[in-house]
Structure 1
Amino acid sequence: MGFCIYLASSSPRRSELLSQIAVSFNQVKADIEEKPQTGESAQDYVLRLALQKAQAGFKNSHKDRPVLGADTIIVIDQQILEKPRDKNHARKMLQLLSGRVHQVFTAVALVQGVDTKSILVKTEVSFKTLSEQEISDYWQTGEPLDKAAGYAIQGVAGKFITHISGSYSGVVGLPLFETAELISEFMQEIGNDR
């Protein structure tokens, strides 16, 4: 692809995914408050976070290249499942996901000055029915700790997934096809195709 951007994320998963599609990048800091606003839909929330991360990253960059911000949330019964606070919180979320289908929304935004472009990718994930023992054993792996809804599809939790409809990489944290298209379109629009 030959593009060079900034990545407003410290996520090792997002770094790996961006490298996978041959995008060169430097990481920049982007600290924002991640809290839904009153009456804000899950989709609007995740899009806002991705855009705010990209904007915060742009402020911390040399401003010579676009900045990519991304955010992923997990939703079930119109409820956003955050990272678990403790073992009990993780157990409750995994019980909620057990034997059901939930939605994963990943938003990706590009910012360079006043130019912005963003996308939202929705993926449906089906979980098998989990026993209390499976949930407890999974917690012991340490994997749920810093993951939204307390699971990582690319890790041990992959064995709980019976079906996915949408973008696997989007569930991991960055939808590859859509991100590549977004970067390409953005570069063409701002005349920065180099």
Structure 2
Amino acid sequence: MISSDFRPRLVLASNSPRRRQLLTELGLTYELRLREVDESFPTHLVRAEVAEYLAAHKADAYATDLAPDELVITADTIVCLDNDVLNKPADEAEAVQMLQRLQGRAHDVYTGVCLLHGDGRRVVFSDQTGVHFRPLSLPEIEHYVHQYRPLDKAGAYGAQDWIGMVAVTRLEGSYFNVMGLPVHRVWEELVKLGAVAV
């Protein structure tokens, strides 16, 4: 057991209720700290590079405010169809278009995570999950978008809600990664940093 006197205080910098839920279910105590961060990225980056860049970029926004005994957790989830990054849709019409592209196909979900310690230590990593969608009709897609309004979700869908139940036929990798946080990797890295009891 690592003495709690030496464990950093965790800060979650995320608007995502799914990430809050997952950290809470891990049994972690954390402070929520939010600010607006630009989510654009250099166009030469692809796939996991995009997710890791955005997670690290978000952490940078908190770097100067962290106390020496704090550790901030930031994350970004993207959906990739071939080499196209499908981020959060701007409106319902774009959400429908995204889901029309994804239906009947396999795609990849990447979540990048950055753990930034107040003493300057930084760990950046990502996890990948393959997701298979069955073919969906336009009425099914429109029902989901209008009823569930997935405008805050990469790729315009949440695996944990209605469309995940009716459309996802197979996952290759972590389900929690698709929800927005690869908790198995987060736990492993927090242990290495001495941030949780082991």
Quick check: TM above 0.5? yes
1:175: which partner in 2?
Answer: 182
1:144: which partner in 2?
Answer: 150
Within 1, Cα distance between the matches of 2:39 and 2:169?
30
The one-letter amino acid paired with 2:79 is: I
Within 2, Cα distance between the matches of 1:131 and 1:185?
46
Q: Indicate yes or no: 2:19 matched with 1:8.
A: no
Give the secondary structure class of the aligned counterpart of 1:66: strand
The one-letter amino acid paired with 2:81 is: I
1:132: which partner in 2?
Answer: 138
1:41: which partner in 2?
Answer: 46
Q: Indicate yes or no: 2:55 matched with 1:50.
A: yes
1:72-151 map, 5 Å: 72-112=77-117, 113-151=119-157
8 A Cα contact 1:47 1:118, kept in partner: yes
Give the secondary structure class of the aligned counterpart of 1:34: coil
Give the secondary structure class of the aligned counterpart of 2:193: helix
Structure 1 position 76, deviation (Å)? 0.3
In structure 2, runs of 5+ residues without a counterpart are none
User: Aligned residue pairs: how many?
Assistant: 191
1:20-31 map, 5 Å: 20-31=25-36
The Cα offsets for residues 125-183 of structure 1, whole Å up to 9 and x where unpaired, read as 00010001101111121332221111110011112100001010010011111111011
Give the secondary structure class of the aligned counterpart of 2:70: coil
In structure 1, runs of 5+ residues without a counterpart are none
Give the secondary structure class of the aligned counterpart of 1:141: helix
Structure 1 position 41, deviation (Å)? 1.7
Within 1, Cα distance between the matches of 2:22 and 2:69?
23
Give the secondary structure class of the aligned counterpart of 1:104: strand
Within 1, Cα distance between the matches of 2:71 and 2:57?
14
Identical counterparts, % of pairs? 34
RMSD between superposed Cα atoms in Å:
2.0
Within 2, Cα distance between the matches of 1:144 and 1:12?
13
2:163: which partner in 1?
Answer: 157
Superposition TM-score, scaled by structure 2 size: 0.89
Within 2, Cα distance between the matches of 1:111 and 1:87?
35
Superposition TM-score, scaled by structure 1 size: 0.90
8 A Cα contact 2:41 2:54, kept in partner: no
Structure 1 position 193, deviation (Å)? 6.8
8 and 63 in structure 1: CA distance in 2 versus 1, 3 angstrom threshold: farther
30 and 184 in structure 1: CA distance in 2 versus 1, 3 angstrom threshold: farther
